[in-house]
Structure 1
Amino acid sequence: MTDFFATAPRGLEELLAAELRDLGLASARVQRGGVAFSESLAAAYRACLWSRLANRILLPIARFEAQDEQALYDGVQGIDWSAHLGVDNTLAVDFTGVRARVGHGRFAQQRVKDAVVDQLRDASGARPSVDTDQPDVRVNVHMMDAAVTVAIDLSGDSLHQRGYRREGRRAPLKENLAAAMLLRGDWPALAAEGGALVDPMCGSGTLLIEAAWMATDTAPGLLRTRFGFHYWRGHDDSLWKPLIDEALERQARGAQTPPTILGFDQDEEAVTVSRDHLRRAGLTDWVQVECGELSQLQRPAERPHGLVITNPPYGQRLAEQHELVPLYLSLGQTLKTQFAGWRAMVLNGSGCALGLKPARSWQLFNGPIECRLERFEVQAGIGEAPPAQDLVNRVQKNQRQLKKWLAREDVHAYRVYDADIPEYALAVDVYNTQAGRWLHVQEYAAPASVDAGKAQARLRAALTVLPRALETAPSKLVYKVRQRQRGERQYQRLAQQDQYLELREGPCRLLVNLTDHLDTGLFLDHRPVRQWIGENARGKHFLNLYAYTGAATVQAGLGGAASTTSVDLSKTYLAWLQRNLHRNQLNSPAHAHIQADVMAWLQHCDQRYDLIFLDPPSFSSSKRMDGNLDIQRDHGALIRAGAACLSEDGLLIFSTNRKGFKLDPALQTQFRIEDRTAWSIPKDFQRRAWVHGCWFIR
């Protein structure tokens, strides 16, 4: 008997110990970082071939204390390396440490390599070469405080690398983590009972392949042509070959009754990659993969029980989860309606709820990402009653009432719901873009008096039903929490997807981005004002202050304005404005854009404009501004400065969405002011008491 050590991913040590015992390694016992066992060399070979969970199988060959790098070198020199490799072999050294006395890992690695090479060179006059990619012998050194363990790595490459994945392709789910998910879901027992397996978001097919190999008793190391022990001088091929023969026989028997395994993904490229990996794994005839939406998923016919297992996408930052909440809820709803009586395993790295209560959960790490592996026993009858039916009824009623108006006015982006029912504090906007219909759902921050648990339950229900109520794919629902943005935050991105969608507004083609910012690039409630500008801009010089993404500028340009000038402090929004101008063939010197603080710019403006649109934020501050802007406090000075740039018969349109705003009465003594608020609010926003105020000022 010899001591060995199997390393494992964090959180899988107990599961690995159980697996090794099932392989006949009765001495397996959990230790920090993995599982130790005292067995024969043949048993260690069996672990290399059959373990679905281990990363590496290590053979410790020496243990000693080292207080510094010289003691580390001396300790490694004390090992007889001629028993493990010769000068014709290649070598690599891996070093890991926990509070190691030799703190610099690369330096320690170099000293271990020097000790091995120096010993062999002193004995023979020649030295082995270093090959960090595919060495003949890989030496593993682990140092905890001063305690050093030196081992021969019998695995070579990590055992999770089965050999079916195309080189260079990113692996979001390692093979041994996929195997752990399947084992936690008792897939081998379900497969033996005739159960089926479905992965609705199969990605590159890892779960499908691991499931098929488990169900057909295929050794996970059978495709590998090289292990770490093959060129090790202690290797005994007479122990290895019978294990290979046994594995081939077991695979042949298991292939006689393959289970039903189905994979789906909405990404056609992912489906192509999955099929390629299945072909490389020899499973083309056993596993079926198709392109399909999660919301269209159905249980396989005549399969009353089985396993749904999947690794949905994660959002590393909360702001990147805008589309994950509805995705996870759609998964939960599909499980409830289509897979009653089945088990489900979900590797949840986002923290999003499915609307189902897990029967069990485990902490796992997918690389550096902390996840919960959640196990659900889907009960018959759960979720059959449609949730949030009152919300569905209201949304569909609003849609019917808006239908004729939308067609008559040729409106392609509109608000269909705005917290009409107090229990569902959401704003729901529909964007009919060139890329199809999208939903932009914003949750208003709930007051402290609202029970947080009930609010979350209603939110989950709402995000589940809205896509169907508005005939939209769940993947095209974008969800955000609406919070007032102050200072620099108003310019900060929520995500980095850079997914711009083209939208028509009258003659304009405008770009919106539903994901990356709190706002989308188009204020829908200003639609009538923008259209009026387009209809009345012919031959005029137009000034757009706080221009944002330039939708009003585009309307003016296409309406025949003699010139347009757009001023905004944000470089991001001005770049967006440029793209809108280019998309509408308005990229000429007549359409200028200026990055500046509006108030400071107005102080030095010596031009006159016939039409000015002034729509400032309610509050703004920036490192590039002198002081900050509070529109209730500062609107008088801002309007006076803007009006000073008007031509003799010019018009300034002032608008604000500041709640509770009151126009300074002193302005009435200087200007002719017409309150156009009622006119300026479109039909789809008239349900709210206050959306914005609008005044024509001459």
Structure 2
Amino acid sequence: MSEQTFFATAPAGVELLLAAELVELGAATAQAARGGILFRGPLELGYRACLWSRTASRVLLPLAEFPAADAEALYAGIHDLPWENHLAPDGTLSIEFNGSGPGIDHSHYGAQRVKDAIVDRFRARCGERPSIDSRQPDLRIHAHWRNGQVTVSLDLSGDSLHRRGYREATVTAPLKETLAAALLLKAGWPAIAAAGGPLIDPLCGSGTLIIEAAWMAGDHAPGLLRSHWGFSGWLGHVPALWNRLLAEADERCAVGQSRIPPLFASDHDSKAVRATLINTGRAGVADRVRVERREWATVKPPPGPPGLLIANPPYGERMGETDDVSALYIQLGERLKSHFGGWRAALFTGAPELGKRMGLRAHKTNVFYNGPLECRLLQFRVEPEFFVDRDAADRHARAAALNRAISDGADGFINRLRKNLRHLGRWAEREGVSCYRIYDADLPEYAVAIDRYEQWLHVQEYAPPSSIDPARAQQRLEQVIAVLPAVLELPPDQVVLKVRQRQKGASQYQKQAEQGRFHEVHEGPARLLVNFTDYLDTGLFLDHRLTRQLLREQATGRRFLNLFGYTGTATVHAALGGATSTTTVDLSATYLDWARRNLELNGIHGSQHQLIRADCRQWLTRTLDRYDLIFLDPPTFSNSRQLTESFDIQRDQVELLRQTLRLLAPGGVLIFSTNHRKFRLEVAALADIHLEDWSRRTLPPDFARDPKIHRCWRITQS
């Protein structure tokens, strides 16, 4: 049988693995080219590549290559090819086109011109033309136009080869089967399996890694479940040859089943476990894989020889909301060192810097791409010589970062930060304060606010004025981020950066990200949830710490109302202070749910604690209830689409205060606060009520440098 040239495509990082596969399948040579591997051999080799390659995305059969100066030359070159030798006149085809040239500036139009050339030739020669079928055509054609040269190929694979046919159930962002196979090959699984070593995937998702491992060890051809191929309707197809290869693959699979070593898949997510069970059954390896629901930190090796533990850690989707992603790496490293001595481990991650948290030194690192994302396969030998003192490594990294920042001119910022920490640290320890501000643009050139939330740092960068060189501002921000872990002795992944600009209206309530990760912190007797990434603010206004304390102290035996209640932190303090009932009103369902979770976290339940979703100003005009203690902390400005009209605290203060005072029971107290820096209380319009300025009384020491951070009054009926 005559030899032909084939081209197997593969993503970056997989080419060498694919070349080795093709040589093993019988290719005399396998030459790397842009986007894949060129190889030569008879048609049987092309068939074998389709059936047996675990890493190729597609197998193409180049038909022709010709120059094309413009769109008309492209059409003419395609039209001249003998398409009737490849496709019946009443057949179906689809076109995939990439590249561009004069007259064609997007792929859709390029595919249209290729299609026109083919069907025009059929119509002229046969009197009829093939139709288009993008889903399962008889012939799938690839045309590539680059640097004036056109390459036309038949796609022998049809659908992408990662579609093995066993993925019936799925989870969020599953690995492609071809990528999973590449990771296993690079991690040395075939040799480990041949020696009888087991494989464990403690974060199995939909089971892709474990199924690919079973098929690899059991000599199961990755294409054996597929019923349709790109050559199925090709006139050059040789069914007898293909059927012989299928029979050979069936026989090898039957023999190989007995060679599959023990395989273990687990996940803490019951949906992932269910998906893996379904997919292993579809893949025919359910009896070879033990699947169970298990916390990954409790996984343990089976009796027998050491094997391979391989995992693709999630980026938050399968973790609990309050879990810290770096904790996964830390605990996985500890588990490996304590229970998996002599094993190999491989971690595929898009956050390789977190691999350093494992306390294990990777002996190999390989780059692969998961879609557009550059990732790393970290390979470990779980042996004492590769164990790392994580704390010592962290200290060394922090010291090096500090020295670099000093040499870059950040010594002034470092000295101010240390001075603040000495002063505020003593105060915080004495007062039992664990969440406080440690720096707020003390030096104009370092325009950031730094808040400590127990073991976390929340850094907000104020947008620099236009007079500041953006490159210099970026350099100083990088210095801040480098310095903080060293000075405060915290891991870098516990420093969260947020760019903060002055906000107006509803923008302060808009989402900044979608991570959904909450952390529990403490304020006096209260337990509160904060979120560092998803919103402009964290859910806990630190400058109101003393205000909340005063509310807690005055709430005993009183009915408490929290207007514009936000995340309910003031409500929690009032309830813990002994309020007989609490009512929290806010227009945001998101913040009310956050408030509900804060209440539940503190064991505050029951119908006496109401959460009401409403426009506070409209609700004030409707309710007939009375309250003994009211906290009113409205936004400075709001023009939310949910409101019938805009709100401006300076403009609307008198009306709002009058409406609120209407709900105040005899002897009751209203605490009114605003963060509007230019706010002026309309004293003359409120001459009939008693006002006490509590602004200084409620200003905590960590905000003493910024007395305009908020204004606060205690208001009672005269």
TM-score of the aligned structures, taking structure 2 as reference length: 0.71
Q: By how many angstroms is 1:350 displaced? A: 2.7
The question of 1:659 aligning with 2:661 is answered: no
> Which AA in structure 2 matches 1:611?
V
What are the Cα deviations for residues 320-364 of structure 1, in whole angstroms up to 9, with x where unaligned? 998322223332332222222222211111344123332222222
* Structure 1 residues 644 and 291, CA gap change in structure 2 (3 angstroms): farther
SS in 2 for 1:71: helix
Change (3 A) 1:387 1:171: closer
Give the Cα separation in 2 of the matches to 1:552 and 1:363. Answer: 49
Query: What letter matches 1:613 in structure 2?
Result: I
Q: Distance in 2 between matches of 1:92 and 1:60?
A: 16
2:219 aligned to which of 191, 208, 217: 217
- Letter in structure 1 aligned against 2:310: I
Shift of residue 194 of structure 1?
1.6
Task: Give the match's secondary structure for 1:495.
Answer: coil
Of the three residues 222, 228, 246, the one matched with 1:244 is: 246
2:555 to 531, 534, 549: 534
What is the aligned partner in structure 2 of residue 584 from structure 1?
609
**1:76-120 alpha-carbon deviations (Å, 9 max, x no partner):** 110111110012321111112266862211011011111111111
Query: Which residue among 75, 86, 89 is the counterpart of 2:88?
Result: 86
Aligned twin of 1:373: 377
Structure 1 residue 659, shift from structure 2 partner: 2.6
Secondary structure in structure 2 of the residue aligned to 1:659? helix
- Deviations along 1:40-69, one digit per CA (max 9) or x if unpaired, are 100110100100011111111111111222
- Once the two structures are overlaid, the 10-residue window that deviates more, 221-230 or 445-454, is 445-454
Question: Within 1, Cα distance between the matches of 2:106 and 2:657?
Answer: 64
Tell me how far apart the structure 1 counterparts of residues 121 and 478 of structure 2 sit (CA, whole Å).
73
Are positions 1:601 and 2:652 aligned together? yes
Please name the residue that 1:50 is paired with.
52
* 1:31 Cα offset (Å): 0.5
Contact 1:500 1:511 in 2 (8 A): yes
Query: How much does 1:428 deviate?
Result: 6.1
Change (3 A) 1:482 1:496: closer
Partner of 1:188: 190
Q: 1:386 to 1:363 in 2, by over 3 A?
A: closer
Q: What SS does the aligned partner of 2:354 have? A: coil
Asked whether the 8 Å contact 1:612–1:653 carries over to 2, the reply is no
Q: Alpha carbons of 1:11 and 1:321: their partners in 2 closer, same or farther (altered >3 Å)?
A: farther
AA aligned opposite 2:513: A
Superposed displacement of residue 35, structure 1: 0.3
Per-residue deviation at 1:224?
0.8
- 2:39 maps to which of 32, 37, 40: 37
Pair 121,486 (structure 1): closer, same or farther in 2 beyond 3 Å: closer
Query: What is the aligned partner in structure 1 of residue 291 from structure 2?
Result: 289
Q: Is the 8 A contact 1:310 1:345 kept in 2?
A: yes
Contact 1:166 1:277 in 2 (8 A): yes
Distance (whole Å) between structure 2 residues aligned to residue 236 and residue 83 of structure 1: 14
* CA offsets 1:553-600 (integer angstroms, 9 cap, x no match): 68779947999988x9x9975896799999933536338978434344
Asked if residue 521 in structure 1 is aligned to residue 544 in structure 2, the reply is: no
Q: Greater CA deviation, 54-63 or 554-563?
A: 554-563
Alpha-carbon separation, structure 2, partners of 1:146 and 1:161: 33
Structure 2 residue ranges without an equivalent (≥5): 396-431, 439-449, 461-476, 600-606, 613-618, 626-631, 639-646, 662-667
Where does structure 1 lack aligned partners over 5 or more consecutive residues?
392-413, 430-439, 464-478, 618-628, 668-690
Change beyond 3 A, Cα 1:459–1:255? farther
The 1-side partners of 2:518 and 2:458 are apart by 22
Contact 1:349–1:370 (Cα < 8 Å) also in 2: yes
| Compared CA separation, residues 455 and 189, structure 1 to 2 (3 A) | farther
Would you say the 8 A contact 1:615–1:656 is kept in 2? Answer: no
Aligned equivalents of 2:231, 2:478: Cα separation in 1 = 64
1:429-463 Cα shifts (integer Å, max 9, x gaps) = 6xxxxxxxxxx844679996997698499645x99
1:601 CA drift (Å): 3.3
Structure 1 residue 124, shift from structure 2 partner: 1.9
Structure 1 residue 481 and structure 2 residue 493: aligned?
no
Question: Aligned with 1:532: secondary structure?
Answer: helix
Mapped partners of 1:330, 1:480: distance in 2: 20
Q: Distance in 1 between matches of 2:684 and 2:568?
A: 20
Cα distance between partner residues in 2 of 1:168 and 1:116: 39
Change beyond 3 A, Cα 1:697–1:113? same
SS of alignment partner, residue 135 of structure 1: coil
Q: 1:571 to 1:367 in 2, by over 3 A?
A: same
The SS at the match of 2:702 is coil
Cα offset for 1:220? 0.5
CA distance in 1, matches of 2:556, 2:684: 21
Aligned to 1:397: none
SS in 1 for 2:384: coil
Aligned to 2:308: 307
What is the deviation of 1:248? 1.6
Q: 1:416: Cα distance to partner?
A: 7.1
1:687 paired residue number? none
Deviation string 1:626-679 (CA, Å, 9 cap, x unpaired) is xxx55xxx5xx65x5589758645666543457351798xx9xxxxxxxxxxxx
| 1:175–1:206 contact (8 Å) kept in structure 2 | yes
- For 2:337, the equivalent position in structure 1 comes to 336
1:69-468 aligned at under 5 Å gives the runs 69-97=71-99, 102-166=104-168, 172-303=174-305, 305-314=306-315, 323-355=324-356, 356-380=360-384, 441-442=456-457, 455=486, 459-460=490-491
- Report the Cα distance in structure 2 between the residues aligned to 1:645 and 1:373, rounded to whole angstroms: 68
Structure 1 distance, partners of 2:608, 2:291, is 40
The one of 543, 552, 560 equivalent to 2:570 is 552
Distance apart, 1:242 and its partner CA: 2.0
CA deviation after TM superposition for structure 1 residue 14, in Å: 1.9
- Residue 77 of structure 1 aligns with an amino acid whose one-letter code is H
Q: Which amino acid aligns with 1:148?
A: V
Is the contact made by 1:325 and 1:352 (CA closer than 8 Å) also made in structure 2? no
Q: In the superposition, relative to structure 1, how do residues 87 and 450 fare at CA in structure 2: closer, same or farther (>3 Å)?
A: closer
Equivalent position of 2:19 in the other structure = 17
Q: Following TM superposition, by how much is the alpha carbon of 1:13 offset from its aligned partner in structure 2, in angstroms?
A: 1.4
Query: Are residues 352 and 290 of structure 1, via their aligned partners in 2, closer, same or farther at CA, if it must alter by over 3 Å?
Result: farther
Q: Give the 5 Å matches for 1:683-694.
A: none
CA gap of 1:348–1:604, structure 2 versus 1, over 3 A, is same
Instruction: State whether residues 179 and 207 of structure 1, in contact with CA within 8 Å, keep that contact through their aligned partners in structure 2.
Output: yes
Relative to structure 1, the CA distance from residue 150 to residue 507 in structure 2 (aligned partners, 3 Å threshold; closer, same or farther) is: same
> Cα deviation per residue 1:183-216 (whole Å; 9 max; x = unaligned)?
1101000111121111111100000000111111
CA distance 1:449–1:262, change in 2 (3 Å) = same
Q: Is the 8 A contact 1:341 1:380 kept in 2?
A: no
Structure 1 partner of 2:405:
none
Percent identity of the aligned residues? 41
The Cα of 1:534 is off from its aligned counterpart by 3.0
Query: Contact 1:100 / 1:144 at 8 angstroms: preserved in 2?
Result: no
Match of 1:28 in 2: 30
Partner SS for 2:7 = strand
CA distance change for structure 1 residues 21 and 293 in 2, over 3 Å: closer, same or farther?
same
Q: What RMSD in Å do the two structures reach over aligned CA positions? A: 4.7
Instruction: Write the distance in 1 (CA, Å) between the matches of 2:128 and 2:140.
Output: 19
**How many angstroms does 1:17 deviate by?**
0.9
Question: 2 CA distance for matches of 1:563 and 1:602?
Answer: 22
Aligned residues: 595
Per the alignment, residue 495 of structure 1 pairs with 513
User: Aligned equivalents of 1:106 and 1:531: distance in 2?
Assistant: 66
Rounded to whole Å, the distance in 1 between the matches of 2:589 and 2:220 is 57
Judge conservation of contact 1:328–1:352 (CA < 8 Å) in 2: no
Q: CA deviation at 1:372?
A: 1.5
Distance 1:505 1:133, change over 3 A: same
SS of match in other structure, 1:376: strand
